[in-house]
Amino acid sequence: MFGGRVERADAPARAPVSWRRIVSRLALPGGFLALGLILPAYMFDRPLRIRARGLGPDAWPGVFLNAIAVIALLWIIAELWALYAEGKRKRAMPIVEQAEAYDYSKAAAAICLLLAFGWLLPTVGFPIAATLFILCWCFLGGIRNPVALLLVSLLGMLTLLWVFMGLALMPLSRGTGVFDDFSVWFLRFVRIY
Site for other proteins in 38-97 (CB under 8 A): 39, 42-46, 48-51, 53-61, 64-65, 67-68, 71-72, 74-75, 78, 85, 89
Which one, 26 or 121, has the nearer CB to other proteins?
A: 121
Q: Are 175 and 182 in contact (CB under 8 A)?
A: yes
169 is an interface residue for other proteins by CB under 8 A: yes
Residue numbers 8-27 binding other proteins by CB under 8 A: none
The rounded distance, in Å, linking the Cα atoms of 82 and 4 is 10
User: Minimum CB separation from other proteins for residue 19, in Å?
Assistant: 20
User: Minimum CB separation from other proteins for residue 35, in Å?
Assistant: 8
The rounded distance, in Å, linking the Cα atoms of 137 and 151 is 14
The rounded distance, in Å, linking the Cα atoms of 132 and 153 is 7
User: Minimum CB separation from other proteins for residue 143, in Å?
Assistant: 6
**Among residues 17, 21, 162, 173, the one that binds other proteins under rule CB under 8 A:** 173
Collapse the DSSP code of 73 into the 3-class scheme (helix H, G, I; strand E, B; otherwise coil) and give the result.
helix
Which one, 16 or 99, has the nearer CB to other proteins?
A: 99
The rounded distance, in Å, linking the Cα atoms of 29 and 37 is 12
The rounded distance, in Å, linking the Cα atoms of 12 and 2 is 19
Which one, 18 or 159, has the nearer CB to other proteins?
A: 159
**Number of residues forming the site for other proteins (CB under 8 A):** 77
Residue closest to 71 by CA, chosen among 150, 2, 144? 2
- Which ranges of the chain does DSSP label H, i.e. alpha helix? 5-8, 19-38, 59-89, 104-124, 126-140, 146-160, 178-189
User: Minimum CB separation from other proteins for residue 13, in Å?
Assistant: 14
The rounded distance, in Å, linking the Cα atoms of 7 and 134 is 46
Which one, 75 or 186, has the nearer CB to other proteins?
A: 75
Residue numbers 120-159 binding other proteins by CB under 8 A: 121-122, 130, 133-134, 137-138, 140-143, 152, 156
The rounded distance, in Å, linking the Cα atoms of 71 and 59 is 18
Which one, 101 or 147, has the nearer CB to other proteins?
A: 101
